[in-house]
Each structure stands twice: as C-alpha cells, then as structure tokens.
C-alpha cells in the first residue's frame, strides 16, 4: 500500500483548497455552474464566466446549459470542456487570426495558479478584442427559425428564396443570416444584410458575410467527411485597429451550431441533433413555457445530453475526450 496515496499535506494547504473550492459552484452531478475568482472582475454570459486580467481576458466555460434563452438550474458535467476543446480544435483547424493566447493553465498568470485544476480543459486566455455587435450566422440547410419564416413568407431574414424548399433542405447556396446580440434572457433579432450594413458599416458587413460563409463552408466540407452535417452555425468577430477581422468567442460548438448525423438525415424532417436539441425536446415534452425559471433536468436527461456532447466532440475532432 505504501506509495499509493499522497503524503498528507499541511493543514494550511487543506484550508487554502477549501477556500478556493467554495468559490466554484458545482451541482450534485459535479457540473460546474459558476466560476468565481475573487481577485478578478467577472462578467457572466449564459455559459461563460469571463475575467478581466487587465491586458487579457480569461474565458471559463462552465457546465451551465440554456434552452430557449433560459439558463437551467441543472448543469451537464463535462459540457464546458467539450465546448472549450472543440473551439480550440476549430481555431487550430482554420488557422485564421483569432483571439487565443493560450489554453495551457501552466502558462496562465500567477493569480490563476491556485485555480488551475478547476480551469484545466475548460478555459482559455484570450486577447481583449473590440467585438462587432452582430452575431454572424451561416445556414447551409433550411431549418429552425429560417424554415418557420420561409413557410410564412418565402423569405429568410427578409431575403426571398426560391419556392420548393422543404424542412431540412440543403440550400442552393450558403446564407448569411445575422442577428442582433440580445441581453441574457432576451431573444436575438434576425436582421437583413442591409440592416447589418447600417449597424456596422457596409465594408465591415461585407467582410463579416464573406468570412462567415468561407469558415462555414470549410468546416462543413470537413465535417461531411466525418459523417456530420453542419446545418447552421454562429460566429462572432472582433475588429483589429487596421479594420481586419479577428475570430473570437466560441467556434462551431454544439451550443452555437446544429450538427446532424448524415446517416439519419433526410429531407422533410430534422434528424436527431448532436447538440442541445435533446434538452429542448424534453422541455417541450413537459410543456415548459420557455420562461424563467427553468426546471431541474432529470439525471437521465443530463446523462444523455452529456453523451451527445461528447460524441459531437469525438466525431468532429477525431480525438478522445
């Protein structure tokens, strides 16, 4: 038995760990719901807790999950690591200008070292970026809100499409369908390209459209080779001082994309998605009204969702989690 267990650390070390641990909020399934680093200012989104280090930011991806713009009280263990590692994979895959400094916790500033084990695998140190206040959505297939609009008016984001599309049809060309960035709890608003140009300027709007379509197309071709259809996805960009774009925030994750297994795809209906659609479907099955507060997720729904997220990462990256 000797050597199998670490030597008991001093009492002071136990106390220090206890203090650090209480700044991190985990649920009963050990899903990280909230990250706190008392030494640093924090801003929180639906999933990410972002800390200001002065000349850089620490982005921590929690295990929170939202649906219908409502943050649910239950987390999905390991979900944050899937999102973070998948974003890192795509940043490496694209090789374009992006906000990443490092995701190696050993290279983080000294103030973060006491939190290293909580941050490992689910965080990245990034540059501060002047973000464009538009979410850039690429659609390769007609589904979701785009399909609903098309059924009513034959348009998507106000742009007229040809007749004859069905639910889940592949579009003749990739569409750029931007939205506004809504506050937490509010809904993003679909906007036309013309409105985007009014908000950010015609030149920047054109750059956003071209970059969004190019990144989506490259990723979609790659994913198809691995048996996955990327029906749509969201990108976010910042602007460099010289006016060039910088890719930022999450990239092609199950939270920002609709992934369909090719094997179960057919026109006319949505195949089971490798994303949080499983949670949305469960919420609808219990007649959730899409308003906060959200209900606790049963353990079997949490486990199945975790399985779906891991499959998305492993199928797309070719790596084991």
Bond before 193 cis per omega within 30 degrees: no
Domains and CATH numbers, the chain: 12-128 (3.30.200.20), 131-279 (3.30.470.20)
Partners of 98 in the β-ladder? 247
Per-residue confidence (pLDDT) for residue 167, from 0 to 100: 96
Per-residue confidence (pLDDT) for residue 181, from 0 to 100: 81
Per-residue confidence (pLDDT) for residue 69, from 0 to 100: 87
pLDDT digits (tens, 9 = 90+) for 19-61: 444 589 999 999 999 999 999 999 999 999 999 999 999 999 9
Q: What are the Cα distances from residue 134, in Å, to 25, 71, 162, 277? A: 31, 22, 26, 24
Yes or no: say if 319 and 89 are a contact pair by the CB < 8 Å rule: yes
**In this structure, what token pair is assigned to residue 123?**
């965080």
Per-residue confidence (pLDDT) for residue 10, from 0 to 100: 32
Half-sphere exposure of 21 (CA within 13 A, CB side): 9
Print burial letters for 263-301: b (CB count within 10 Å at least 16), e (below 16).
eebeeeebbebbbbbbbeebbeeeebeeeeebeebeeeb
Which residues of the chain form beta strands (DSSP E)? 24-26, 32-35, 42-44, 48-52, 56-61, 64-67, 70-75, 100-102, 123-127, 130-131, 136-141, 155-156, 159-160, 170-176, 228-239, 245-248, 257-261
DSSP secondary structure, 91-117, as one string: HHHH---BSEEE--GGGS-GGGGGGHH
Per-residue confidence (pLDDT) for residue 270, from 0 to 100: 85
**In this structure, what token pair is assigned to residue 275?**
């994303």
Give the pairing of strands 100-102 and 257-261.
Answer: unpaired
Per-residue confidence (pLDDT) for residue 239, from 0 to 100: 95
Compute the distance between CA of residue 111 and CA of residue 118 in angstroms, rounded to an integer: 14
Per-residue confidence (pLDDT) for residue 113, from 0 to 100: 93
Q: What does the DSSP 8-state code read for residue 8?
A: P
Residue (of 252, 272, 254, 253) closest to 262 by Cα position: 272
Angle in degrees, 0-180, between the axes of helices 79-94 and 299-317, rounded to the nearest 10: 20
Per-residue confidence (pLDDT) for residue 1, from 0 to 100: 32
Quote the pTM value.
0.89
End-to-end CA distance of the chain: 31
Listed as ranges, residues in the chain with pLDDT below 50 are 1-21
């Amino acid at each position: 038995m000797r050597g199998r267990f670490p030597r008991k650390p001093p009492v002071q070390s136990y106390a220090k760990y206890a203090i650090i641990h209480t700044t991190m909020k985990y649920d009963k399934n050990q899903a990280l719901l909230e990250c706190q680093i008392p030494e640093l200012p924090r801003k929180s989104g639906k999933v990410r807790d972002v800390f200001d280090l002065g000349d850089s930011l620490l982005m921590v991806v929690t295990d929170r999950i939202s649906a219908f713009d409502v943050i649910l009280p239950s987390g999905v263990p390991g979900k944050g690591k899937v999102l973070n590692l998948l974003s890192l994979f795509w940043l490496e895959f694209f090789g374009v200008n992006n906000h990443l400094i490092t995701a190696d916790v050993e290279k983080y500033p000294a103030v973060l070292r006491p939190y290293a084990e909580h941050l490992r695998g689910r965080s990245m140190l990034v540059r501060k970026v002047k973000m464009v206040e538009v979410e850039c959505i690429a659609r390769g297939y007609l589904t979701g809100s785009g399909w609903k609009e098309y059924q009513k008016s034959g348009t998507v984001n106000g742009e007229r499409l040809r007749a004859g599309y069905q639910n889940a049809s592949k579009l003749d060309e990739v569409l750029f369908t931007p939205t506004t960035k809504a506050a937490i709890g509010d809904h993003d608003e679909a906007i036309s390209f013309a409105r985007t140009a009014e908000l950010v300027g015609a030149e920047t709007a054109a750059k956003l459209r071209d970059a969004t379509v190019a990144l989506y197309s490259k990723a979609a071709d790659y994913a198809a080779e691995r048996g996955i259809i990327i029906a749509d996805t969201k990108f976010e960009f910042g602007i460099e001082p010289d006016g060039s774009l910088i890719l930022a925030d999450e990239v092609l994750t199950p939270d920002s994309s609709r992934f369909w297994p090719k094997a179960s795809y057919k026109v006319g209906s949505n195949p089971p998605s490798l994303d949080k659609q499983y949670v949305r479907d469960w919420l609808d099955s219990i007649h959730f009204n899409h308003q906060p507060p959200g209900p606790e997720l049963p353990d079997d729904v949490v486990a199945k969702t975790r399985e779906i997220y891991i499959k998305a990462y492993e199928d797309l990256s070719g790596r084991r989690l």
